[in-house]
A and B are shown apart, each in its own frame.
Chain A
Amino acid sequence: MPKVAMRVNGRAVSGEVEGRTLLVQFLREGLGMTGTHVGCDTSQCGACVVHVNGVPVKSCTAFALDLDGAEITTIEGMANADGSLGRVQQAFQDHHGLQCGFCTPGMVMSAAALLAENPTPSEAEIRTYLEGNICRCTGYHNIVKAVLAASGQDPATIAAE
C-alpha cells in the first residue's frame, strides 16, 4: 500500500493507506485520533471538519493520499499549550454550546476557521458560516453565542430580529 506523511497538530505522522482511504479514516483508524467524528456519508453534517493547511475541510471528502505533506489541525490540537481549553473551546463551555458533544469537534473547527477569516462576525455571518455543520441538540442558539463570545463580542446581542 502507498505511504502518506503529513503533520497533524504539529506532529509528523505517516502511515500506509489505500487509495480510497479518507482523511477521517486515516485520522481515526490510522492514527487513533478519534476526536474527529463521522456523522453522515454525504458530506452534509460537518462533524468531521478539520483544518488542512489552515482551511476548513470536511475530512470525509478528502483522500488521505492526496494530502501528503499537508499540515492538519484537528480538535485535539485546539487546546492551549498547558492543556487548558483554547479560546473557542472555552467559549463553547462557558455558553453551553454543546450537549451530546458529537457535532462539537466539527463545530469548533468551523467556528475557529470563521474567526480566522472574520475576527468579529455578526450573528447572521456566524449562522451562515455554520450552514455546513448540523447540530441536533442545541438549536444553534448557544453555539452562536459561544462564537460571538470567542470573538470578543457581547453574546447577549443574540436575539430575535
Chain B
Amino acid sequence: MPKDGIGAPMKRREDLRFLAGDGRYTDDINLHGQAYVWFLRSDVAHGRITRLDTAAAAAMPGVLRVITAEDFAHAGGMITAWQVTNRDGTPQAEPKHPILAEGKVRHIGEPIAGVVAETLEQARDAAEAIELEIEELPAVVDMAAALAPGAPKLHEDIDSNLCFDWGFVDDNKAKVDAAFESAHHVTTLELVNNRCVANAMEPRAAIGLYDRPMDHYTLYTTSQNPHVIRLVMGTFTLQIPEHKLRVVAPDVGGGFGSKIYNYNEECFVTHAAKLVGRPVKWTATRSEAFISDAQGRDHVTKIQLALDKDGMFLAFRTETMANLGAYLRLFATVTPTYLHGPAAGGPYRTPVAHVHVKGVFTNTVPVDAYRGAGRPEGSYQLERVVDKAAREMGIDQAEIRRRNFVKPEEFPYQTPMAVVYDSGNYHATLDKLLELSDYAGFAKRRAESEARGKLRGFGFSTWVEASGLAPSRLIGALGARAGLYESATVRVNPTGGISVLTGTHSHGQGHETVFAQIVADKLGIDAGLVDIVHGDSDKTPFGMGTYGSRSAAVGGSAIAKATDKIIAKAKKIAAHLLEASDADIEVADGKFTVAGTDKAVDWATICLTAYVPHNYPMETLEPGLEETAFYDPANFVYPAGAYGCEVEVDPDTGAVTVMRFVAADDFGVVLNPVVVAGQQHGGIAQGISQALLEHTVYDESGQLVSGSLMDYAILRAGDVPGFTVDHSCVTRCEHNPLGVKGCGEAGAIGAPPAVVNAVVDALQAGGYGIKDIDMPLTPSRVWAAMHEG
C-alpha cells in the first residue's frame, strides 16, 4: 500500500502555494493591454428605462466604449438548465434573462451598461456620466403579494409572477390526504427558510480575451465549472462554438454554489473583448457581489406531519413558495423542486408524502443553488416538524427518530419520493451522536447552566441527502437539459509521472490531493507521481464541474475508471514483457507481477515501454499510455448524519451561544479523513451562520438593506466553539467503484435544524411557550418570541 493511498490523512499539496501567497486567482491575472469595465447597475428594483444616453460618458477620458443591450442584439438570454413541468402538465415559465437590461430593470443591481476604459477609475468616473432615467414601477418582494391578483408583473411575456406550480409526487396526493384523515395526531408548522448570500471570500471576477486572426475567445473566470460556462454561454447566449471559446477557471476562492452559473459579467467581458479589441477585466466589489451573485434558500413553507398513536409517521405534506428572484439562473428551477423533493422524506419510513412548491418571481436578486441546494430546505422543514411532533406527543427526540428510521436491513429502500436509498445505517449514526455528545450527561449540564442563570437546550437533526449529481437517465426523465456524468483522463508520461485531467473543479475541496490518492492507491505508487489538472476547458475533457457533492462520487469514480483502463493496458504491456498472459498479471506496490511467481516488471519500465515501443506487441496494442473515462452514476448517493447542537440562551437578552456541536456522519468510504473533517466543519459553520446570523433583507420597494458585510452578518471565529465531527459510521455506496457518498454539503443541510431545535428546547425547558421561531435567531428575535407568548 502506498502511504498516501485511499483513506490516508495526506496533507494538502495545494496549500503550499496558497500559504506562500502564490495562489493564482482570476483577479491576480493581468493581460497585456487589458482594459477595465465598470457596470452601471439599476438602483431601483423595478422600472422602465425611459432614457439611456451614453454620449457624454463615451467622451470621458480613457473610455474605449460604452456597451449597452444594443451591443448584444445578436445574443440570446442566459438559460436555465432544467425544465420543470407544472402539475397541469404545462412547462415552467422562462422569461428571457438578458445580459444587460432591455428596456426594463427587475432587480436592484441589474446591469444596464458597461463602461470599458483604460483604467478602472476612468471607467467608474465615466459611468457616472451616463444619462439614465428610469420610470419606477411598483415592486413585488413578498411572494404572496407577487402571486395576488393584480400584482405588479415582472415579465410582460408571461401570465403572472408564477414560474411553476409543481407537485412531487403528485400521484401521492390522494393517499397523503387519506393518511391525514386517519391520523391520531397531526403536527403543523409554518416556517421561513431565510435567504442567504453565499459570500465566497473571493469576489467574482472575469477577464475576456479575443484573438481576432483566429476568431477565438478566452474567458478567465471564477467558476466552479468552466466547461459548463463554455457550453451554455457559448452555445446559447453569445453563440460562439465551443472550439472557438476557451474557459479557464484558475484558483477559485470558494464557491458554495454561487459560482456555478453563467453570469452577465462573464458574457459581457467575453463579447466586449471583441468589441474593443483589448482584453477586458472585471472584478466585483463585495457590495456588487451582494446585488449580483445568485442568492440562496428563501422558502416559505407549511409542513404537516401525520402520526399514529405510537408516534409513527403516516404521511407528510408541504406547501412551499420558493422565491426565485427576478430571473432564472442555471439551477434556479431544479433547486426548489428535484433537489428538494426526493430527499425531503429524510431518514424515515414515512409511507407517503407530497411536496408542493410554487416558484415565484419577485423584484429581488435571482436565487439559485447555495451549499446544499434544496436539501437544506427539505431537512430544515422536516426536522423542525419532527421536533415539534415529539414535543406535542411527549416522545423523546432521539426515540421518535429511531422509531421511524429506515432499518439497516431495509436497504436498498424505495422511498415514496421516487428515489431508492442504496445504503445507510441511521441507527448507527444516531447512536454515535448520543455517545459523542454525552447526551446522557445533558441534564447535568442543563442544571449547571441554570445555576448560572442560562437556559440550555439540546437540538437534534437527523438527515439524508440525495447528492452525487447525478444519474443522467433519471434526471433526463425529470426535465434536466444536460447529463451529469463526469470525465477524467489519466495521462501517463514516458518516465512514469501522471497527469490526471478532471472535469471537476477544486475551489477549496482539495482535489489536487485527494484525487491523486485515488490513482496512487490503485497503482500502488507514490502520490507524488500524480498531478491533478483542472479548470481549463482546453486541457480537460468535457466535464460538468463541482457542486452537489459530486466531485468524489462522480468525478472520483471517473478517475478510478480511467485508472482501471490504464491498469488493463499496463497489464498487457507487462504480460508481453514477462511472456505471460495478462489475465495472470497482478498489480501491487507499483509492480506488475505474474501471479504466483517472482517475475515482475515495475511501473517505470511499463511507462517507458509504452512510449519507447522497441519491444512492443504492436500488432495487438497501441503505443502510449493514456485513457479517458466518462462515468455516469447509476443512482444518487445518500450521505446521512445525526447532529446534536447544545445552546445556552441568555433569558435577559435572548442571545444564543452555541456550546457544543457534534456531527456523526456516514459518507461511505472516506478518501482523506482530514479533508472530510474540514468539509464537515465548514458546512456546519455555514449552517450555524444561517441559523443564527445571516439574513438578506429587502425593503418593500426592493432595496437591499443588508448589502454589505457591515449589514450582513457572517459567522466569525468567536461565534462558535470547536466542533466534534465523526465519520466512522461507514456504509459503502453500493453503486460507485469507490464506495463514496460525498461530504461537501452535509453540514449546511444538517446544522440549521439542530441549532433551532436546540433553542426551542432551551426556551421550552425554561417555561417559555415558544412553538415557532424563524431563522436567523438573533437576540432580538429570540427575546421577542419569549415575550410574545
A residues with a Cβ closer than 8 A to B are 18, 28, 33-42, 44-45, 47, 74-76, 78-79, 85, 89, 92-94, 96, 98-105, 108, 123-124, 126-128, 130-131, 133-144, 158-161
State which residues 193-233 of B face A: CB under 8 Å. 199-203
In the docked arrangement, what's the CA distance between A137 and B674, Å? 14
Beta-carbon contact of A128 and B718 below 8 Å: yes
The answer to whether B709 and A40 touch across the interface, beta carbons within 8 angstroms, is yes
| Closest-CB distance, A2 to chain B (whole angstroms) | 16
Q: Which residues of chain B are within 8 angstroms of A102 by Cβ–Cβ distance?
A: 23, 25, 200-202, 253-254
CB contacts (< 8 Å) of A124 on chain B: these are 718
Given A105-B21, A140-B685, A142-B678, also A92-B15 (CB < 8 A):
yes
10 A-B pairs closest in CB distance? A35-B21, A102-B253, A101-B18, A139-B685, A100-B508, A99-B508, A75-B21, A44-B709, A160-B660, A139-B681
CB distance from B759 to the nearest CB of A (A): 17
- In angstroms, Cα B708 to Cα A44, docked, is 9
Given A100-B508, A102-B201, A138-B681, answer yes or no on A93-B12 (Cβ-Cβ < 8 Å). Answer: yes
Q: Is the C-beta of B787 less than 8 angstroms from some C-beta in chain A?
A: no
- Whether A42 lies near B709 (C-beta < 8 A) is yes
- Bound together, the chains give a CA A110 to CA B200 distance in angstroms of 20
Give the A-binding residues of B (Cβ under 8 A): 11-12, 14-25, 27-28, 121, 199-203, 251-254, 256, 285-287, 507-510, 646, 659-662, 674-675, 677-678, 681-686, 708-710, 714-718, 720-724, 747
Knowing A39-B201, A103-B201, A161-B660, the reply to whether A140 touches B15 (Cβ < 8 A) is no
Q: B438: nearest residue on chain A (CB-CB)?
A: A160
Query: Once the chains are docked, how many angstroms separate the CA of A74 from the CA of B14?
Result: 19
B287 touches A41 (CB 8 A): yes
Give Cα A153–Cα B508 distance, bound, in whole angstroms: 27
Q: A102-B253, A140-B715 are in contact. List 4 more A-B contacts (CB 8 A).
A: A44-B286, A127-B717, A139-B720, A143-B717
Closest Cβ of chain A: how far from B742's Cβ, in Å? Answer: 16
Tell me if B254 and A93 are in contact (CB < 8 A): no
Residues from chain B with a CB closer than 8 A to the CB of A38 are 27, 203
CB of B684 within 8 A of CB of A47, answer: no
Taking a contact as CB atoms closer than 8 A, the residue among A44, A137, A161 that contacts B508 in the complex is A137
A126 engages B659 (CB within 8 Å): no
Contact A76 B20 (CB under 8 A): yes
Find chain B residues with CB under 8 A from A100 CB: 200-202, 251-254, 507-508
Residues A36 and B21 in contact, CB atoms below 8 Å apart: yes
**A–B pairs, 26, beta carbons within 8 Å:** A34-B27, A36-B21, A38-B27, A40-B203, A44-B286, A45-B201, A75-B19, A75-B21, A89-B19, A96-B11, A96-B675, A99-B508, A100-B252, A100-B507, A101-B15, A102-B25, A102-B253, A108-B19, A123-B722, A134-B201, A134-B709, A139-B682, A140-B717, A142-B678, A160-B662, A161-B659
- What's the minimum C-beta distance from A85 to chain B, rounded to whole angstroms? 6
Q: Once the chains bind, are A138 and B678 in contact (CB under 8 Å)?
A: yes
Closest to B724 in A: A160
Using known A-B contacts A127-B717, A141-B722, A141-B723, determine if residue A101 contacts B251 with beta carbons closer than 8 Å. yes
B24 contacts which chain A residues (CB < 8 A)?
A: 34
Contact A98 B201 (CB under 8 A): no
* Given A102-B254, A138-B678, A160-B724, also A41-B285 (CB < 8 A): yes
* Set of chain B residues within 8 Å of A28, measured between Cβ atoms: 28
**A161–B678 touching, CB < 8 Å:** no
Asked if B717 and A133 sit within 8 Å, CB to CB, the answer is yes
Compute how far the CA of A130 lies from the CA of B14 in the bound complex, rounded to whole angstroms.
23
**In the complex, what residue of chain B is closest to A105 when comparing beta carbons?**
B21
Q: Which chain A residues border B685 with CB–CB below 8 Å?
A: 138-141
Q: Would you call B724 and A126 a contact (CB within 8 A)?
A: no
CB neighbours (8 Å) of A78 from chain B are 20-21
B717 interface neighbour in A33, A101, A144, Cβ under 8 Å: A144
Partner of B716, one of A33, A101, A131: A131
Q: Is B25's CB under 8 angstroms from A37's CB?
A: yes
Assess whether B661 is in contact with A134, with CB atoms less than 8 Å apart. Answer: no
Interface centre among A42, A94, A101, A161, by most chain B C-beta atoms within 10 angstroms, is A101
B361 to nearest A CB, angstroms? 29
Q: Is the CB of A93 within 8 A of B659?
A: no
When chains A and B are docked, how far (Å) is the Cα of A124 from the Cα of B719? 10
Task: Find B199's partner among A35, A98, A99, A136 (CB 8 Å cutoff).
Answer: A136
On chain B, the residues within 8 Å of A93 by CB distance are 11-12, 15-16, 19
Q: Do A136 and B686 touch (CB < 8 A)?
A: yes
Taking a contact as CB atoms under 8 Å apart, the answer to whether B722 and A159 are in contact is yes
B192 to chain A, nearest CB (A): 23
**Given known A128-B718, A134-B201, contact A101–B256 (CB-CB < 8 A):** no
Q: What residues on B are CB-neighbors of A33 within 8 Å?
A: 21
Kindly provide the distance from the CB of B489 to the nearest chain A CB, expressed in whole angstroms. 25
Closest chain A residue to B722 by CB distance?
A158
How many angstroms from the CA of A120 to the CA of B202 in the assembled complex?
A: 31
Contact A130 B708 (CB under 8 A): no
The residues of A that contact B251 with a CB separation of less than 8 Å are 100-101
- B531 shortest CB reach to chain A, Å: 18
Known: A76-B20, A99-B509, A123-B722. A136 touches B714 (CB 8 A): yes
Closest to B371 in A: A136
Which residues of A sit under 8 angstroms from B683, Cβ to Cβ? 139
- In the docked arrangement, what's the CA distance between A75 and B43, Å? 38
Contacting residue for A127 out of B201, B686, B718, CB 8 A: B718
Judge whether A137 and B682 touch: CB under 8 Å: yes
**In the complex, A37→B23 CA distance in Å?**
10
Q: CB-nearest residue of chain B relative to A110?
A: B717
Knowing A103-B201, A137-B254 touch, does A98 contact B19 (C-beta < 8 A)? yes
A45-B11 contact given A76-B20, A136-B256, CB 8 Å threshold: no
Q: Once bound together, how far apart are the Cα atoms of A158 and B20, in whole Å? A: 26
Of B252, B662, B684, B685, most A-chain CB atoms within 10 Å: B685
A residues within 8 A CB of B19? 75, 85, 89, 92-93, 98, 101, 104, 108
Residues of chain B contacted by A101 (CB below 8 angstroms): 14-15, 17-19, 23, 251, 253, 508
Q: How far is the CB of B543 from chain A (nearest CB, A)?
A: 20
- Collect the chain B residues with CB atoms within 8 Å of residue A104's CB: 18-19
Contact check, B252 vs A142: say whether CB atoms are below 8 A apart: no
On whether A89 and B20 interact (CB within 8 A), knowing A102-B25, A140-B720, the answer reads: yes
Q: Measured between C-beta atoms, what is the minimum distance from A159 to chain B in Å?
A: 5
Query: B420 to chain A: closest CB distance in Å?
Result: 32
Q: Which residue among A76, A78, A98, A108 has the maximum number of chain B CB atoms within 10 Å of its CB?
A: A98
On chain B, the residues within 8 Å of A89 by CB distance are 19-20
In the bound complex, residues from chain A placing their C-beta under 8 Å from that of B202 are 37, 39, 100, 102
Q: Chain A's nearest CB lies how many Å from the CB of B610?
A: 35
Across the interface, do A35 and B22 meet the contact criterion of CB distance under 8 Å? yes
Please, which residues of chain B bring their CB within 8 A of the CB of A161? 659-660, 721
Cα(A45)–Cα(B508), bound, Å: 18
User: Chain B residues with Cβ under 8 A from A160's Cβ?
Assistant: 646, 659-662, 721-724
Q: Once the chains bind, are B709 and A98 in contact (CB under 8 Å)?
A: no
Query: Bound state CA distance, A85 and B13, in angstroms?
Result: 12
- Most chain B beta carbons < 10 A, residue from A74, A133, A140: A140
A161 to B723, CA, bound (A): 10
Of A74, A123, A142, the contact of B681 (CB 8 Å cutoff): A142
List, in ascending order, chain A residues with CB within 8 A of B724's CB.
159-160
With CB as the reference atom, state the residue of chain B lying closest to A139.
Answer: B685
Nearest-CB residue, chain A, relative to B251: A101
Distance A159 CA – B725 CA, assembled complex (angstroms)? 11
